Every structure is written in structure tokens, then in C-alpha cells.
Amino acid sequence: MATTPPTRSPELRKDPVTNRWVIFSPARAKRPSDFKSKSPENPNNNSSSCPFCIGNEHQCAPEIFRVPPDPNWKLRVIENLYPALSRKLDHPNGQNDDSSSELSGLGRVVPGFGFHDVVIETPVHSVQLSDLDPSEIGDVLIAYKRRIEQIKQFDSIKYIQVFKNHGASAGASMSHSHSQMLSLPIVPASVSTRLNSMKEHFNQTGKCSLCKVQSKDLLINETSHFFSIAPYASSFPFEIWIIPRDHSSHFDELDNKKAVDLGGLLKLILKKMALQLNNPPFNFMIHTSPIQVTDSEIPYSHWFLQIIPQLTGVGGFELGSGCYINPVFPGDAAKILRELNVPI
């Protein structure tokens, strides 16, 4: 008579980087290897009316730069046609100080000056980021770096968030492969929480929480300059972090050689995720340090790239408590992805 294999007991883990508690509840899921996206992303390949396709540049918001700088471009950085913040507010050199914020009985208000940009990653509508070769993905990463360096000239900008939404259910309004950059006049609370949590770990251990793999069971793949893991307290099933081996506080410290190296690892991870999880919608975010990070914060602030496949929804418990329920232990997710062979 067949018996049901024992289920692992639920477990709560606190992440030393995000300072977030996560409940691991494997009884709520099928086998980790059975996880598949219920709504795989099938990009719309109709390029005739897509403003991001080569030849349709006139349909876009103003261009910031392109690579290479000729009609046969490989990537473009443009203004967002529907920006969350305004780059046209009257700020000399974009300067802002405490006098520009107002505190009332309802809360604090800061003028909505900032930059909201789009990085068009390829001129061809049917090509996705994971279809590019490592050097081409490296070019996209260097475009982020170049734009960050431009924006850092504005004193009022405190934090720059690079992110990619792939698939409609992940927030993408355009199927043409692209990513975005939102430059803010404030440091978001989640960023401050992350830095404070990393500081606490550093004060307790004398070590950066991200400088090395804490457990080989969590390792997925590694290269000369980066390694990928399923983080110890993953908020989402099959969440992945790609982390620089060398301690680095700011993403824009990335050089060309490391960009190609990161491009190869990012390609591999996206390919593995698509194959194992049925090409799911996903988000990736680059978590870097605030622009005005102090010298005392550098020893424990370490940038990383987070990838979240959209496999489960966020419900009232998560929204109300800030505590997530994950049905897949990270070691199980890492093992499945580590052992998956993907031709590149």
C-alpha cells in the first residue's frame, strides 16, 4: 500500500537583507518540481503598430540616447510617455532641500520632480531579453549605468530604481522587450529598511550579508564575478538573486567586462526559469544604494539583482502583515534550477 510522503513542517525565517519574515508552508503546494505558471507569457508579435520597433521611433516620447548612435540602433533609452514623475518641474539643476517639502496634519509633501525612462532592449519585436547574447545583455546593463551617471548630476535625486516587467500580469503594458528606470527625490522606506538590516548584520558579525554564499544548498549558478542563489528567506517561490562576488555598493560601479559576465548569467537564469516554470511572467529589480550613501554605509551596502517569477498571488495576509507565505523552500527551488541543464 502506497503511503503519502511526510510533509515538512512549516517554518518562519527572517531575511537579514530585507528584514522581512517569511512563512514557509510546503503543505500549501504541490511538489516544488510541479510549479508551472498558470498563465505563461506569450508575447504579442504584431510589430506593425508597436512604437518600440525600429522604424517607429517617431511614435515614441523623446529619445535620451541610442546605442550605437545611428539609424541601425541596438537599444534606445527614451522618456516614458506616461511618466510617474515630472522632469519639467522648475528646479534649478534639479536641486531640492528640506524647504521644498511641506509637513501638514495629513503628512509630508515633496514636489514630484524626477525621471521616468524606458530602455528599449532590442529593435526587433519578437526578440526577448533572454534571446540576446551575453554581450548584448551587457550593453543593456551598461545603458542603465550610463543613464544613472547622467541622472546623478541632479542633486535632488536620491534613489534610482531599475526594473523590468515581463508579461501583462507582471505589469508590462507593452509586449516589446523593455525595462524602466524611475529616479526619485526620496529614498523609499524599503530601501532604508534594507540598509538598516544589512547594517545590523554587519554590526553583529563584522561581515557583509551578501559578500559570499552562506549555504551551498542555496547556490544555483556562478561565474567569475557573480553568483545566483535562492535567498534564504525567499518571499516568493523560485525567487532568485544575482549578487556580485566583489563587494560593491552601487550598480553603476559595473564595468564592461563584468557587464558581459552578468549578461551571461542573467541569460542562463532567465532560460532556466522559462523552461522549468512554463515561461512565467516575471519582474526583476536592481537593488542598489542611495546616491548619497555615506562612507560609513559602504562596508555593508551591497547591490544585487532580484528576479521574481509570477507564480502565486499576493493576498490580504501579505498586504496586511508585510509577511509573505512561500510554499517552496529555497533549497528545493535552488536544487531544481541548479540541476536543470539548459543549452545556451
Catalytic residues: 178
The interaxial angle of helices 256-277 and 134-151, nearest 10 deg, is 120
What residue type is 182 in one-letter code?
A: L
**DSSP for 197-213, written as a single string:** HHHHHHHHHSS-TTSS-
Q: Which residues pair with 108 in a beta bridge?
A: 103
* C-beta atoms surrounding 153 within 10 Å: 9
- Cell output for 13: 525565517
3-state DSSP assignment of residue 218: helix
* C-beta atoms surrounding 196 within 10 Å: 12
Distance of CA 264 to the CA centre of its chain: 16
Angle, vertex CA 253, rays to CA 249 and CA 256, nearest 5: 145
Number of H helices, E strands in the chain: 5, 15
Q: Is the peptide bond before 185 cis (omega within 30 degrees of 0)?
A: no
